[in-house]
Structure 1
Amino acid sequence: MDDLKYGVRDKRGDWKPNGRIEGAPLWNWPPRLPKILAWLPGYIWPWNAFHMATALLYWFYVVPSVETMKTISWGWALWLYAVNAAAILVFYGIFELRYYVKRAQATRFKYNHKFPADAPSDVFWFQSQNLDNFLRSFFITIPLWTVVEVIFLWCFANGRVPWVGWQDHPVYLAALVLIAPAIHEVHFFFIHRLIHWGPLYRWIHSVHHNSINPSPWSSLSMHPVEGFLYHAVAFWHLIIPSNPIVALFQLHVAGFGAVNGHLGFDKLEVTEDTAVNSHAYTHYLHHKYFEVNYGGDGLIPLDRWFGTWHDGTREGEAMMDARFQKKKERMNARA
């Protein structure tokens, strides 16, 4: 595909899409039902449909019996870790292998024209972003994902929280599934904003931000505190009357869905004429500029409301620069 039909490339070879990042039309006033209906299929397919499919596969083929989960043991906890690690190895690995190892798409639709493997740096373990990100994901973050998973499954199995049944409340649970990505976005925004506070950033979040040019393995490369807080979004289903399948879906939106913002490509070419939108640009801009787009794609427009939104346009860049200048002036005044 010709990526210059969809965006522009600068002198360095970095690519950016035309147009602006549009948030969910749910917040437009006056509401426009046709626009909302046109947006809805893209909200469900392919990514959220994939996360629900994986949640169902887990529930029917991976998660132990309720009787087993009433007692926490190494056996079923390690089983869940093994499945989580294998699933991420396959799912993330597909993107890594095709777009970063084989480079089947070259730099078409790639925001940063460089590949992490070509840029060794002392900020990473073994001077390798790929190896550093891989090790942190599989030996820090995925174990913490599993800890969260074990805790909420144990709570449901022991009746510590309400277990809402699908047969009794199908409409309520279906609605909860639909708003689960919004719960993720709100949770992510506030913990993300918190760990951007100076001391916490240096201690915790800088680990993730070392990957200025993110790739699939960067998705779950986190400090242990961030890795736990990020996946703890599933604990909202210990507060909200819910169902373990919905809690699994919530966890998978976080775990499997983390790759979306770190793919580094705007479109993933499937054939010469077809491509899948990655929805990666919003979070790529966060990795590039650090202090914009703390949330997601604008499903809940918290970045707009808090003044940290960057929509990928020159106007968005000007607003960001003006905010940075005011921050610099405040810091100089205090000094």
Structure 2
Amino acid sequence: MARSKWNHTPDELPLRVNPLWQWPLNIRAAFDWWWRGWFPLTVSLMIVALSIVLWRFASPTLLETETIGAWVFWLWLRNLVIVAILAQGLHLVLHRWRLQGDRKKYDPRPYPRKGRVFSFGDQFWDNVFWACASGVTMWTLFEALILWSMANGYAGTWSWQDGPLWFVLFFLLIPPWESLYFYVIHRALHSKWLYRFHALHHRNTDVGPWSGLSMHPIEHFLYFGTALIHFVVPTHPVHVICHLMFFGLYAIVTHAGFEGLWLKGKKRLHLGNFHHQMHHRFFEVNYGTLEIPMDKLFGTFHDGTEDGDAMMKERLKTRTRPLD
């Protein structure tokens, strides 16, 4: 890929999927991939820690959720505050105050933009409105539904006393489940029947932190529908909180537009996702994540190189429908 298309690309190109799915299997490489995804300081680990704190100090008990009440509003307010702090904090540091300048910013174009394509004629306010009014609301409705269902016996529960292994394992299974679930719904959203709703998210050809949750309510329903798995497998309320925050907060950080937060010449926290950044630029590639190679399986993988460009162009030539 020509460097002129991007202000910054990752040092390691071509992009590679999780070594767990590469042959011959390299156990050490697969373990290193898993370790770097969680330790020593990663967004995933911070989300798990935050979910435990929220369950302990800022969530209703299952006894309280037996009946619908004011606790639903407090969940919505709690989620709104978390989204606002994270998204606006990253927006100020990276895009408003530009404390890193353009260093490690993927797209050379500035964010946000103006234009009639956006609600209120402004990309920033378009993103803020849809993220808060629709995104936080749908997120909270799913959280409230599952907590109410757990309290009333409609969804199974699992405590630490029931078995610590499954209690811990569920946290670790969220990323691969996210990868599989996200690919399936994302491809569906690019179909001719559903793209009319997904088009709102694709107003963002370049992205900022608020872009991640800027979606149509129908897309938010499908996106946070990932949580319905809690009706199938028994879990703890802290897993519900973590699962939904994983989808909500990761959408924010992976759309930051920058590879990471840099301080004194070192990357202190990984943020943006070049794999998904290419999807916002080119639309028809990289529907999933690198955790499970669904894009490679279905021929929609762009590895960030000129060969990836050629594959994409060839695929678009042979496509028979407006959106596949």
TM-score category (smaller protein): over 0.9
Q: Find the counterpart in structure 1 of residue 185 from structure 2.
A: 191
Secondary structure of residue in 1 paired with 2:258: coil
Report deviation, 1:269.
Answer: 1.0
Matches within 5 A, 1:180-329: 180-202=174-196, 204-296=197-289, 298-327=290-319
Q: Secondary structure at the match of 1:292?
A: coil
Q: Say whether residues 1:99 and 2:91 are aligned partners.
A: no
Contact kept? 2:257, 2:272, Cα under 8 Å:
no
- Whichever residue aligns with residue 208 of structure 2, its letter is S
Question: Does the CA contact (< 8 Å) of 1:214 and 1:264 recur in 2?
Answer: yes
> Cα–Cα, structure 1 residues 80 and 35, in superposed 2: closer, same or farther, change >3 Å?
same
State the alpha-carbon separation in 1 of the partners of residues 233 and 299 from structure 2: 29
Q: Output the amino acid matched with 1:200.
A: L
* Aligned residues between the structures: 319
Q: 3-state SS of the aligned residue for 1:29?
A: coil
Q: Is the partner of 1:110 in helix, strand or coil? A: coil
Structure 1 stretches of 5 or more lacking a match?
1-6
Q: CA deviation at 1:96?
A: 0.5
Shift of 1:156: 1.0
Task: Give the SS at the match of 1:268.
Answer: strand
C-alpha distance 274-192 of structure 1, shift in aligned 2 (>3 A): closer
Quick check: 2:8–2:107 contact (8 Å CA) kept in 1?
yes
Instruction: Give the Cα–Cα distance (whole angstroms) in 2 for the partners of residues 230 and 9 of structure 1.
Output: 33
Contact 1:270–1:276 (8 Å) recurs in 2: no
Counterpart-to-counterpart distance in 2, 1:271 and 1:316:
34
Q: Percent identity?
A: 32
Tell me by how many angstroms 1:164 deviates: 1.4
* Structure 2 match to 1:39: 33
Whichever residue aligns with residue 193 of structure 2, its letter is P
Check the 8 A contact 2:156/2:230 in 1, yes or no.
Answer: no
Given that 1:185 and 1:299 are in contact with CA atoms closer than 8 Å, whether structure 2 keeps it comes out as: yes
Residue type of the alignment partner of 1:63: S
- Once the two structures are overlaid, the 10-residue window that deviates more, 167-176 or 147-156, is 167-176
Structure 2 unaligned blocks of 5 or more: none
Q: Deviations over 1:79-115 (max 9, x none)?
A: 0111100011111122101001101111111111222
For residues 231-270 of structure 1, give each alpha carbon's deviation from its aligned partner in whole angstroms, at most 9, with x where no partner exists: 1211111112222212221111101111233111123213
Q: Identify the residue that residue 4 of structure 1 maps to in structure 2.
A: none
Name the TM-score, length of structure 1 as normaliser.
0.91
Q: After TM superposition, which residue ranges in structure 1, 4 or more long, deviate above 6 angstroms?
A: none
- Computed over aligned residues only, the root mean square deviation of the Cα atoms, in angstroms, reads 1.8
Equivalence for 1:70: 66
1-structure distance, mates of 2:194, 2:106: 28
Q: Matched residues in 1 for 2:271 and 2:63: separation?
A: 40
